[in-house]
Structures are given as structure tokens and as C-alpha cells.
Amino acid sequence: MNNKNNNNLDLIVQISDEVIYCSNCELCHTRKNAVPGEGSASARVIFVGEAPGKSEDIQGKPFVGRAGKILEAALLNANISRSQVFITNIVKCRPPGNRRPKRDEIIKCNDYLNKQISVINPKIVCILGATAYSSLLGGKEITLNRGKLININGRDYFLTIHPAATLYRRSLLRVLEEDMMKLSKLIVE
């Protein structure tokens, strides 16, 4: 590993430690574990979901439940391995009952994601679903905009659906797979 990678790793570990002990919002009282995110500190792509669910809360790792299995399969199908990328969420602690994160929780958690993006400085930030789209970019209608690469303030964002959406509409699996294939081409370009 070169110096830059070593330094990135140190900074990512530092951010994770801050998240683990965070008490900025009320979610710290109900979580079992905070879920800072995991993966390569020099990843070419960062995936951003909504918030940890039950399995993630138990394990302290992102996307390890049903939605995670779907994401991982779509990545594998596109020849992207989990260890190559960085996976995290807008909000780092599980909202009780898997409710949507509240606006103030999103705002209080914002800095952690911004720091992760700035340290890793990936080629592309991949937005998974409506909550990440609206929280990070103020966007609406992820289903109409999915599959698009957009540039905002010099950073490239790729938009796709949340993997959990495929649990309710099986036909969306194909959509997620297609988007991951497209993303895999974009990150090597």
C-alpha cells in the first residue's frame, strides 16, 4: 500500500470511530450498533443507501440483510466485488422499526458522509434510492432518473433504485442489474 492509501485508511477509520461513539441525534439511544460503512478507502465508487435496517444494526455493517444480498448479487453480476467499493448510508444508525430517517437526523449525520466522500474521493458516488437522492442532491423521482450519470459541483453521481425496491416489484431486479452493468463500465473508463 502506498502512503496516500495508508493515509486514506487512517482517516476512514477515524470517521468510523466518530460514528461509533456518535450521540448527535436520538437514534443513538435505540441503536445496537452504529453502521459507519465499510469497504476500500481508495474505492472508485461509493454506494449510498438510506439507513441501516435490523441486520445491519445487529452486525454494525451496511447492506448485510435482504437488500444487501440483492445489491451484492447485482454487483457480482456486473463484475464488481464488494471489497473494491465502499458502501454506506445517509444515516448511520437504524431508525426504530425501519421508519424513514427524519430531516433532523439526516442533517445531523450529513457531515460523516461528506467526510467519507471527500477522503475517498471516488470517481463516482452511486445513489441507491429516493432517500439518498433527495438527501444528498435534493432530487425527486428516482425511478424516472435512474441509470443517469449527473455531475454536481464537479462530482459525478450515478442514480439507481434502492435494492429493497426489488423485493416489492420483482421486475425491478432487471433494472438494478442493468444499472450496475452500466456503472461498472463507467468506473473503469
CB of 164 to ligand URA, least distance (A): 6
The reply on whether position 67 binds ligand URA by CB under 6 A is yes
CB of 7 to ligand URA, least distance (A): 27
Query: Taking CB under 6 A as the criterion, which residues in 76-95 touch ligand URA?
Result: 89
Interatomic CA distance for residues 47 and 54, integer angstroms: 19
What is 97-124 written as a DSSP string?
Answer: GGPPPPHHHHHHHHHHHHHHHHHH--SE
Amino acid at 113: L
Interatomic CA distance for residues 170 and 177, integer angstroms: 12
Closest residue to bound ligand URA by CB: 49
- Kindly determine how many residues on this chain lie close enough to bind ligand URA according to the rule CB under 6 A: 13
The reply on whether position 70 binds ligand URA by CB under 6 A is no
Residue with cell 461509533: 20
Out of 39, 49, 95, 101, which residue is the one contacting ligand URA (CB under 6 A)? Answer: 49
- Stated as kind and residue range, the H or E segment containing 48 is strand 45-49
Q: Which residues of the shown chain bind ligand URA in the complex (CB under 6 A)?
A: 49-53, 56, 62-63, 65, 67-68, 89, 164
